């Protein structure tokens, strides 16, 4: 059974930062259609702040330290909707790993579910509301179903489910966030937060592989 | 091709703006020592006075930072462009302005702002600062009347914050200030129209597409889609459309007094705003209403977006007194 | 394709704007009975006070009409967009504001304005109203120092009018007011940069062509060509270029005090102006100068042109006192 | 020998108004290059105000009344540079015809020279300064040279000279008006006021033919 140490988690966060940089304009364009065109900026800014904060962590940082540091850095750099949502997600992930020196493969589903739970708690959205939760909820389910596999495989399964979930948001009317006032007009467009969620999990999966 | 802006690095725009603001208005404003995104009135805190904290994303200047000063807000928490501030600046604001009588958070009703300010309120509560929250929801284009509490807060902030700030300045209790703030919000109605987009400093890409002869009625102040898109109409037609909607919701009776704000979203010049005001006043007069006071200009902007909004606040004696009360802010003054 | 504007018929824009202005600011402004393009301060005339009449083309709002009020100008003569008013409104202004101590005409140095205001001055003289004229020539981009008297008047009007208006309000004699006005003009330096054009309401066609990544240094406030065109620079680079030129002309000594105006030509938002101000203040501090007061915003616009100007006025004790003196105008106040 | 009555003069002014309407955007474009892009608007507005004012004149209006009415209407509608210049031109033309019930063919050169003189007096420009005077001065000279011909021919000769004069402004640096600050940059472009002057005189010539 494998264990993902703090250094690996930091590498994974760095991979997310690189992915957000790459996808910034795409995510802004998605947000431009049904929101305020800044989601890519928020995600890039947030994860580049995370990368910077993690680079300053000592070698003895625990996985909980890594996630808590990421939470604080993301929140303070971003604000917006994504800030509290991802900060809460990371704080819950950190709590799930409390006292551990690494994330065991068997911890991976719980970590993903904890993040999804944090987002649901903070944002009070329900599945089908056309938010990032429509990527995170199926991701958590897929991760749970992949229990027993290596962390990379768990994250890969979650990433696949998140991407499919993001795709389903096209058919939804938004109930939360800026797009909620659009009614019918939001239908046909992917929710930017769901799209970025799939990228975040995919970057984790890639880095852990 | 990137849009043109007079900026340095896009990601430094907000902090450099705040530097420039503090250099220009250091006599009335300062940054909190614990958060440079918390801008505090030099006047205050006052013992026993409710502290008014406003805030939200940048890009709407003079909203929010310009409305910090004696008689209006005590502090503003400043976010990135079109993004709620995180909890820390809002918490710093609460700490700085608390005079022992509680703190009121007021900001536009957006999911991100609610989450961040609520987190800050929880953190303030742990420090024994009582925080209440009143969301502004004046944008009547953003939801039907039966879901009025889900509406966005836009340019009407100006009146709603002003009333609440004056109530604080009158040393009303937190209960009373909260009541005034809710009352002011309930009586404030805004309709906007957008003609052309703005762009974020970081992307310098137009935040929405619109045809060269189109306008969008009800577009949000971050470029969120509105309620109807159509060919550009004349000033009178646009204003009539806005006033029809405002008057039909406002349920005013002949003889009622109102305050009016004709606001530019950014690049629409005063000439156009005053042409609109001419029609606004004609429509109010037709409805038998009396205009107590009118403001015209850039009060709640969306960077360089082209477009305008009309806000009407239905006054009563209390609101009239509060709106008239002097205030002294960096970018706004009543004497 | 026509540019987008919230107007009715283009040829009605100026008169409809004035209607809207009077409806919004009827407490401080009125139109002259003899010319609806002559906007008069309700405060006045005052016996023995020199009357200050300013004016020029429309499209620069809040210049000129917004600076009419107690402590600043007594009246403004309003022309068509970017066109001097004819003599009649200027004459009406002179008649309305004359308090027996003479009248000062102040306006930007443009051929058309000079001809029209001079005709009005001649007509006023025939009615035994003594009129003097001081032209503003603050645009240092518009001619070299050895031809400074041929320069255009631009955003620096704000300081120069303010000083002269305060001098009138202090009941100085016509000689003294004229001296102050010339002195204020001689100490006021403006540099501007334009990023994108505006369009007249009647033509709705961009008034100049400029590449999508270009800017023009020294462009006039009516879109008159400037001194150099080049690729868009950063805010700091643009501001440095302006401040280099201003500081090299100003011949200030360390310890001198200045007043600063960072002005939008129309659609450039406050965020960009404050980013510029950050650099302006750094440059002034580097030069050992002290900023006495700073104004940032839309003070002298060119409809929806994108761009900005920086004005620095080198103060002495008298100018400091005059700039600080309270005034109460429709669109500008000092308390 | 022919005489041009007030009604003919009014027809001529109306022809100018029509020409300015037609050439408005062209004149604005010329002004856009070296000035403030409004010259066509000013000329159209001015002459349409003239047309309106002249339409209200009684049948007994003298040529002097026609020119003075035109002067006042133009000035008050326009202001700008063109307003005082054309108002002075028309006032001088009116003065030249003082006491006459019609403009005799032999008066025509004097009328044109009076207009040119009015513009020179008001604007204090010299030939070569790249202003409308560079059309009006050669127009006055050509009109004087055509002394003895019918008014229409005098105006036609003046119009031709004005057009040639306008063309020569291309080579000039401006010394007056908004373009004066341009130096070299004004060279190569026709002065808008000179261009419109040629059109004004040509419309007169056409209407009197
Ligand atoms: N209450 C919520 N719960 C979950 N996700 C939300 C909620 N509100 C908004 N979101 C997500 O946030 C995304 C927008 O994020 P972002 O653009 O960064 O913030 P903002 O809307 O403040 O500009 C939406 O696409 C949506 O997925
Ligand atoms: N002093 C002057 N004498 C003669 N003509 C002048 C003078 N100043 C300007 N002009 C003419 O006026 C024209 C511009 O007129 P117009 O655009 O209507 O006025 P403005 O320059 O006020 O916008 C110039 O092209 C030039 O021919
Ligand atoms: Mg967004
Ligand atoms: Mg946002
Ligand atoms: Mg002009
Ligand atoms: Mg012109």
Checking if the pLDDT of A159 tops 90, the result is yes
Q: Percentage of chain B with pLDDT > 90?
A: 96
Give every strand in the sheet of B103-108, ordered side by side: B29-31, B38-41, B75-81, B51-58, B103-108, B131-136
Ligand 1 atom nearest the C-alpha of A197 is 27
State CA A33 to chain mean position distance. 21
Q: pLDDT at residue A178 above 80?
A: no
How much is the ipTM here? 0.96
**pLDDT (tens digit, 9 = 90+) per residue, A97-107?**
999 999 999 99
Model confidence pLDDT, tens digit, residues A125-139: 999 999 999 999 999
Residue D175 banded pLDDT, cuts 50, 70, 90: confident
**Is 0.90 surpassed by the pTM of this model?**
yes
Tokens 């980013």 correspond to what residue? C275
Torsion-angle region of D180 (φ positive above 0: left; ψ -120 to 50: alpha; else: beta): alpha
Q: Looking at ligand 1, which atom is closest to the CA of residue B222?
A: 23
CA distance C311 to C295: 10
Per-residue pLDDT band for A175 (boundaries 50, 70, 90) equals confident
- pLDDT of C227 strictly over 80: yes
What are the E-state strand segments in chain D?
A: 3-4, 103-104
Q: From ligand 2's centre to the CA of B191, what distance in Å?
A: 43
Farthest-apart Cα atoms in chain C, separation = 55
The tens digit of pLDDT for each residue in D88-124 reads 999 999 999 999 999 999 999 999 999 999 999 999 9
Does ligand 1 lie within 6 Å of residue A83's CB atom?
no
> What residues pair up with C305 in beta bridges, in sequence order?
C266
Chain centre distance of CA B109: 11
On whether the CB atoms of residues C288 and C229 are closer than 8 A, the answer is no
Of C80, C129, C125, give the one whose Cα is nearest residue C102. Answer: C129
Residue A186 confidence (pLDDT) above 90: no
Q: Which backbone phi and psi does B301 adopt, to 5 degrees? A: -110, 170
Q: How far is CA B157 from CA B54, B182, B189, B213, in A?
A: 10, 12, 10, 30
Instruction: Report pLDDT for C263.
Output: 98
Computed over its alpha carbons, how large is the radius of gyration of chain D? 16
Pocket lined around ligand 2, Cβ cut-off 6 Å: C 83-84, 111-112; D 31, 35-36, 38-39, 42, 80-82, 85, 119, 123-125, 131-133, 176-178, 191-194
What pLDDT shows up at residue B333? 86
Rounded to an integer, the average pLDDT of C210-237 is: 94
Considering only CB atoms, which chain D residues are within 8 Å of C81? 38, 41
Pairing of strands B75-81, B131-136: unpaired
Question: For residue C200, how far is its CA from the centre of ligand 6 (angstroms)?
Answer: 11
Helix (H) or strand (E) holding C81: strand C75-81
Residues whose CB is less than 8 angstroms from the CB of residue B238 and which lie 6 or more positions away in sequence, other chains included: B193, B215, B276, C6
Contacts of C178 (CB under 8 A, 6+ apart): C104, C132, C134
Tell me if A178 and B83 make a contact (CB, 8 A cut-off): no
Residue B75's pLDDT band (boundaries 50, 70, 90)?
Answer: very high
Whether the pLDDT of residue D183 is over 90: the answer is no
| Residue B1: per-residue pLDDT | 84
Residues 6+ apart with CB under 8 A from D161: D138, D139, D141, D142, D143
The answer to whether the CB atoms of D81 and C79 lie below 8 A apart is no
From the list C85, C86, C224, the residue facing D36 with the nearest CB is C224
pLDDT 10s digits, C6-53: 999 999 999 999 999 999 999 999 999 999 999 999 998 999 999 999
**Nearest residue, CB atoms, B6 vs list C8, C81, C238:** C238
Q: What is the pLDDT of residue C26?
A: 97
H/E element, A49: helix A39-55
**Predicted pLDDT of residue B197:** 96
- The per-residue pLDDT for C75 is 98
- Asked if B10 and B203 count as a contact pair (C-beta separation under 8 A), the reply is yes
> Which chains are within 8 Å of A by 3+ CB pairs?
B
Please give the Cα distance from A30 to A196 (Å, whole number): 10
C-alpha B57/C-alpha B64 separation (Å) is 8
What is the per-residue burial (b if ≥16 Cβ within 10 Å, else e) of C257-293? Answer: bbbbbbbbbbbbbbbbbbbbbbbbbbbbeebebebbb
Q: How many angstroms separate the CA atoms of B211 and B196, rounded?
A: 9
CB of B331 closer than 8 Å to CB of B62: yes
Instruction: Count CB neighbours of C255 within 10 A.
Output: 8
The token duo for B196 is 């052309």
Distance CA C165, CA C158 (A): 10
| Cα–Cα dist B329/B76, whole Å | 12
pLDDT of residue C327: 96
Helices assigned H by DSSP within D56-150: 63-78, 82-96, 108-123, 133-145
pLDDT at B227 over 90: no
The terminus-to-terminus CA distance of chain B in angstroms comes to 46
How far is the C-alpha of A74 from the C-alpha of A58, rounded, in Å?
Answer: 19
pLDDT of amino acid B60: 98
Residue D67 is predicted with a pLDDT of 98
Within B127-173, residue ranges assigned H as helices are 157-169
How high is the pLDDT of residue A127? Answer: 94
C-beta separation of A158 from A179 below 8 A = no
DSSP state of B206: B
Q: Which two tokens stand for residue D113?
A: 């020279």
pLDDT at B98: 96
Mean pLDDT (whole number) for C219-248: 95
What's the DSSP call for residue B73? B
D28: closest CA among C4, C203, C111?
A: C203
Angle of helix D151-168 versus helix D133-145 axis, rounded to 10:
140
Task: For residue D27, list its beta bridge partners.
Answer: none
Please give the pLDDT value at position B59.
98
Specify the pLDDT at position A147. 97
Identify the pLDDT of residue C225.
Answer: 84
**pLDDT higher than threshold 80 for residue D168:** yes
């Amino acid at each position: 059974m494998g264990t993902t140490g703090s250094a690996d988690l930091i590498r994974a966060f760095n991979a997310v930062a690189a992915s957000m940089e790459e996808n910034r304009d795409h995510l802004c364009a998605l947000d431009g259609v049904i929101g305020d065109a800044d989601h890519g900026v928020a995600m890039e800014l947030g994860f580049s702040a995370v990368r910077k904060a993690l680079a300053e962590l000592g070698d003895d940082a625990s996985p909980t330290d890594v996630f808590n540091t990421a939470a604080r850095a993301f929140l303070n750099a971003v604000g917006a909707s994504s800030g509290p949502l991802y900060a809460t997600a990371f704080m819950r992930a950190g709590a799930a790993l409390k006292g551990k020196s690494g994330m065991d493969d068997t911890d991976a589903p719980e970590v993903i579910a904890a993040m999804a739970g944090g987002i649901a708690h903070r944002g009070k959205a329900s599945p089908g509301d056309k938010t990032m939760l429509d990527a995170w909820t199926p991701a958590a389910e897929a991760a749970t179903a992949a229990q027993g596999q290596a962390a990379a495989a768990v994250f890969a399964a979650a990433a696949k489910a998140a991407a499919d979930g993001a795709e389903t948001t096209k058919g939804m009317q938004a109930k939360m966030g800026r797009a909620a006032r659009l009614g019918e007009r939001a239908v046909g467009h992917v929710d930017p937060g769901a799209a970025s969620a799939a990228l975040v999990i995919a970057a984790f999966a890639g880095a852990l592989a | 091709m990137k849009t043109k802006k007079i900026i340095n690095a896009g990601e430094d725009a907000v902090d450099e703006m705040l530097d420039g603001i503090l250099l220009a208005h250091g006599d009335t404003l300062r940054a909190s020592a614990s958060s440079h995104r918390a801008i505090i009135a030099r006047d205050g805190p006052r013992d026993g006075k409710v502290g008014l904290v406003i805030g939200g994303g940048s890009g709407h200047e003079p909203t929010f930072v310009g409305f910090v000063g004696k008689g209006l807000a005590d502090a503003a928490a400043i976010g990135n462009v079109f993004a709620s501030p995180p909890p820390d600046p809002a918490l710093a604001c609460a700490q700085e302005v608390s005079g022992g009588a509680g703190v009121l958070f007021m900001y536009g009703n957006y999911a991100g702002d609610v989450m961040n300010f609520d987190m800050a309120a929880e953190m303030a509560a742990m420090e024994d600062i009582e925080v209440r929250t009143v969301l502004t929801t004046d944008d009547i284009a953003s939801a039907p009347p039966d879901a009025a509490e889900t509406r966005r807060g836009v340019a009407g902030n100006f009146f709603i914050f002003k009333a609440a700030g004056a109530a604080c300045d009158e040393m009303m209790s937190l209960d009373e200030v909260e009541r005034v703030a809710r009352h002011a919000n309930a009586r404030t109605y805004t309709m906007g129209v957008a003609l052309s987009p703005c762009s974020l400093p970081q992307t310098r890409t137009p935040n929405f597409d619109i045809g060269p002869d189109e306008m969008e009625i009800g577009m949000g102040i971050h470029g969120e889609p509105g309620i109807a898109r159509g060919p550009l109409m004349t000033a009178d037609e646009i204003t009539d459309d806005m006033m029809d909607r405002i008057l039909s919701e406002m349920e005013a009776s002949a003889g009622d007094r109102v305050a009016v704000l004709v606001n530019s979203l950014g690049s629409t010049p005063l000439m156009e705003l005053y042409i609109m005001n001419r029609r606004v006043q004609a429509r109010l007069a037709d409805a038998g209403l009396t205009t107590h006071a009118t403001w015209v200009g850039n009060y709640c902007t969306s960077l360089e977006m082209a477009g305008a909004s009309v806000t009407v606040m239905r006054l009563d004696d209390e609101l009239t007194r509060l709106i008239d009360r002097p205030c002294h802010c960096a970018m706004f003054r009543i004497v």
